[in-house]
Amino acid sequence: MIYNFCVLVEKQIRVDIFLSTLFKDFSRSYVQKLVDRGQVSVNGVKVNKNIKISNHDEIKIEIQLEKLEVEPEKMDLDIVFEDKEIIILNKNPRVNVHPVPGENGKTGTLVNGLLYHCKDNLPSIGGVERPGIVHRLDKDTTGAIMIAKTDKMMNYLSGIIKNRQIDKYYIAIVHGKIKDRNFKIESFIGRHKDDRTKMTTLNPIAAKEAITYGEVLDYVDNKYSVLRIKLETGRTHQIRVHLASIGYPILGDSTYGNVRVNKEVATMHQIKRQALHAYELGFELYGEKRVFRANLKDDMKKMIGDIVE
């Protein structure tokens, strides 16, 4: 696969950082391998990974996609709903949704479990490594995720996501007492200029508009807030970045959170991953509005009790 495009950047940036941001499913180390193999050229000249590109530079990149042999794997799937067209799961923590080219980890993903559970009844549109996957959750985010079992359903679900015809609600536990019971966060989110594993609202690369709505449900220990979050947009790490940007990071978030607080809640409340759960999906299915809820996982449930029914 060959890509030719013109760079649009405000200031110079290393070619490996730029490409790993553009091709977000490829790790930076994988992009560096492409560069080292001579598969990347700038203005007709093959480059090394340290070169910086400028606005209006012409880039050519040749990507030989790795063929991922994704095997079925028996897995404990928490099924919320299933029929012949769609399956909605309550994803467990520490599980990637799908394998990522250029990285280790071709087993133990949700896709491996789906291949075992559904046998050959998954659509081909998503390719070998993403059959039926129409949206994702971060590795340590739990909760509701929908998977198409037919090409027709995959096209339908992709369409309602693109057109924002789906309601997504999350439950989050953050450090600090948020005084405003209802709030809105609106900003632009993009890749961090120095660390491609992070997203940011401060001078981001390739920024996109992001809108998050929040409601305070209750407080825990008089210093943590339990929130009900609604997404209007669906940017990478959106909830985590937005809450951290206003000074209320999600508990257990190793990327955007507070190290001291994370250690405290790991000891006191056994929260050892980001306390974020995709609680509810609402959308039209077969001509009627349906709402699917995924129960909280044990770690968050133990901390907040019956605040969320």
Q: Are residues 48 and 134 in the same domain?
A: no
User: Domain range for residue 83?
Assistant: 79-162
Nearest Cα to Cα of residue 227 among 270, 189, 267, 179:
179
Domain final residue pick, 135, 162, 189: 162
Q: Is the same domain home to 121 and 231?
A: no
Q: Which residues pair with 61 in a beta bridge?
A: 3, 40
From first CA to last CA, the distance across the chain in angstroms is 49
Q: Has residue 15 been placed in a domain? A: yes
Is position 33 within any domain? yes
Are residues 46 and 122 located together in one domain of the fold?
A: no
**What pTM did the predictor assign?**
0.78
The verdict on residue 196 lying in a domain is yes
Inside any domain, residue 55: yes
The neighbour count for residue 92, using CB atoms within 10 Å, is 16
CATH assignment of the domain containing 285: 3.30.2350.10
User: Are 158 and 176 in a shared domain?
Assistant: no
In a domain, 300, yes or no: yes
> What is the pLDDT tens value at each position of the chain, 309 positions in all?
677 777 777 788 888 888 877 776 667 777 888 888 888 888 888 888 788 988 888 888 887 655 557 788 999 999 999 999 999 999 999 998 887 655 555 678 999 999 999 987 787 655 555 788 899 899 999 999 999 999 999 999 999 998 999 999 999 999 999 999 999 999 999 888 777 678 899 887 778 899 999 999 999 999 999 999 999 998 989 999 999 999 999 999 999 999 999 999 999 999 999 999 999 999 999 999 999 999 999 999 999 987 886
CA distances from 107 to 138, 253, 274 (A): 16, 24, 22
User: With contact defined as beta carbons under 8 Å apart, do 183 and 242 qualify?
Assistant: no
Radius of gyration in angstroms for the set of CA atoms belonging to the chain, rounded to a whole number = 21
**Number of domain units in the chain:** 3
The single residue of 16, 36, 83, 138 carrying the catalytic annotation is: 138
Whether residues 198 and 265 fall in one domain: yes
What is the H or E stretch that residue 86 is in? strand 86-91
Instruction: Decide which of 128, 145, 162 is a domain's last residue.
Output: 162
Do 207 and 292 fall within a single domain? yes
- For residue 72, the 8-state DSSP code is P
* 204: helix, strand or coil: coil
Is residue 69 in some structural domain?
no
Q: DSSP assignment, residue 133?
A: B
Three-class SS string for 246-283? CCCCECCCCCCCCHHHHHHHHHHCCCCCCCEEEEEEEE
171 in the same domain as 298: yes
Tell me whether residue 138 is one of the annotated catalytic residues: yes
| Residue 298 and residue 176 share a domain | yes
CATH number at residue 25: 3.10.290.10
209 in the same domain as 145: no
- Whether 289 and 189 share a structural domain: yes
- 120 and 243 share a domain? no
Q: Are residues 179 and 249 in the same domain?
A: yes
**Alpha-carbon gap, residue 20 to 12, rounded angstroms:** 15
Please state, in angstroms and rounded to a whole number, the distance separating the CA atoms of residues 144 and 293. Answer: 7
Asked if residue 198 is part of any domain, the answer here is yes
